[in-house]
Amino acid sequence: MATWNQVNADDPLLARTAISAANKNISVNVTDYGADPTGVADSTFAIQAAINAAATPQSRVHIPAGNYRITSRLTLVSNVWIYGDGDGTYLDFSSPADSNDHLFYWSGTNLDDVTISDMRMRGNGLDLGDRSAQGAAVLISGTGAVSRPKVLRCRIERFRFGVNIYSATLVTHPEVRDCGIDACAYTGI
């Protein structure tokens, strides 16, 4: 089983996903798409390009240890596992272009089997009782079926909502596990 900062291809959580055995070891690295692990340059478009590239072979997106500045939402796709190196992977969403935006986002008719794991996410506010925190670290909003959404071993701080998963019809087999959610203005999950 994977520990806090390791992703193991034989992890039983991975075995329960729709990612095929042939593709579970395929990992797209965001730095290969130009993501800057120093936090100086905006990594939004590079990380999104890696997510989009991983969607076709139903593989994984690795965000290696580093500080990544994100300025607009990252749109989720089905059948992709996005993972980091535990606390060493830090997604800084403290200065988004739209202060009400969400870090990881999906809205549509059907979403199946998306996992976000092993990273730290920081939003743009504090829970001071003044509603200064905005957006969600993960917002999945479906009008159709949402199946197997997972947020695992993440640290989430300074958002209005930590993880928000809902559907107008049905959400099946959601997992939010082993996460630390701090300083979120309304609710963690």
- As given in the structure block, the two tokens for residue 34 are 């130009």
pLDDT given at position 25? 61
At 124, the pLDDT band (50, 70, 90 cuts) reads confident
For residue 145, give both structure tokens: 């079926």
Determine which of 72-81, 90-99, 119-128, 176-185 has the lowest per-residue pLDDT on average. 119-128
The residues with which 66 forms a beta bridge, in sequence order, are 89
> What one-character DSSP code corresponds to residue 128?
S
Distance from C-alpha of 60 to C-alpha of 28, rounded to nearest angstrom: 6
147-175 burial code (b ≥16 CB/10 A, e <16): bbbbbbbbbbbbbbbbbbbebeeebeebe
Instruction: Average the pLDDT over each of 2-6, 45-49, 125-129 and give the range with the smallest value.
Output: 2-6
pLDDT the model gives residue 26: 80
Cα separation, 113 vs 126, whole angstroms: 31
At 92-122, the pLDDT tens digits run 999 988 877 899 999 988 899 999 999 999 9
pTM here?
0.85
Q: Write the pLDDT tens digit of every residue in 36-72.
A: 999 999 999 999 999 999 987 778 999 999 999 999 9
